[in-house]
Amino acid sequence: MSLEALDAVPWDRLESALPRHPVEEVPRALRRLALAGGAATEEYCYPLYSCLIAGNGRVPSAATAALPFVVALAATRRQARESTS
């Protein structure tokens, strides 16, 4: 995942799922996950989940912007697992 690409997203123009979870937390959470790599646990995912999932069926704009990064993280983790097996 490109951290430069993460920094290029205009996060301040996007909205998170709920006001109590500021959109600025989305790139922070993605960065933490990327830097943790295979050591990331479910707890690392909670801040991202909180910002992107409202539970009311609404998809916030930050979720759309975060999706390519989430996919890249998942692909990187899968590749790492396959290379060690």
* Interval 2-35: pLDDT, tens: 889 999 999 999 999 988 999 999 999 999 999 9
pTM of the model: 0.85
Q: Which of 32-36, 37-41, 48-52, 78-82 has the lowest mean pLDDT?
A: 78-82
What does each C-alpha distance from 23 to 2, 19, 39, 42, 85 come to in angstroms?
19, 8, 24, 20, 37
What pLDDT does residue 64 have? 96
